[in-house]
Amino acid sequence: MVVHVVLFRPKADLSEHNRQEMFDALRSAATGIPSVRRFLVCTRVTHGAAYERLATQDFPFAAIVEFDDLAGLRAYLEHPQHEKLGALFYRFQEMAVAYDYVVEDAGSRQRSSP
C-alpha cells in the first residue's frame, strides 16, 4: 500500500465559502477518483505530549489518502478532480507539505530467532 500524506494550514482570512469549497473538493476527490482506497481528513489534537514541543510548524489539518500501489497514486495525482483540488490548495493554503510513503505492516514482519 502507498499513502499520500498532506499536512496543511488554511489561510487565516479564508472565507467560510472558500473553506467549504476546499473541503467539498476533498470529498469529491475522495469519492470520485477510482484508485483511492481510503481518504481521511484529520483535525489535529494537542494533549501536552513532549513531541508537540518539537514541531516547528503548526498544521491543524491532515489528509491521508491510501492506494493499492504507486500506480494508483500516480492515477490520483493526474486525475482532473485532483487537479481542481490542487488548484484550490495553492490558493487557499498558508502552508502545506506533502509526502508519499510505502506502508509496511510492522506487526506482520518475520522476526529472526535469537
Q: Is the separation of the CB atoms in 93 and 8 below 8 Å?
A: yes
The pLDDT value given to residue 17: 95
Over pLDDT 90: what percentage of the chain?
Answer: 72
The pLDDT value given to residue 9: 94
The answer as to whether 23 is a domain residue is yes
CATH number, domain with residue 66: 3.30.70.100
The answer as to whether 114 is a domain residue is no
* Cβ-Cβ contacts under 8 Å for 100 (sequence gap 6 or more): 2, 3, 4, 5, 73
The answer as to whether 36 is a domain residue is yes
Indicate if the pLDDT at residue 113 is higher than 80. no
Mean pLDDT of 18-31: 89
The answer as to whether 111 is a domain residue is no
The answer as to whether 28 is a domain residue is yes
The answer as to whether 50 is a domain residue is yes
The answer as to whether 109 is a domain residue is no
Mean pLDDT of 66-73: 97
pTM: 0.85
| Banded model confidence at residue 98, pLDDT cuts 50, 70, 90 | very high
The tally of domains found in the chain comes to 1
The pLDDT value given to residue 114: 47
| Banded model confidence at residue 109, pLDDT cuts 50, 70, 90 | low
Indicate if the pLDDT at residue 95 is higher than 80. yes
Residue 41: Cβ-neighbour burial (10 angstroms; 0-12, 13-18, 19+): middle
The pLDDT value given to residue 55: 87
Q: Which domain range does residue 66 map to? A: 2-104
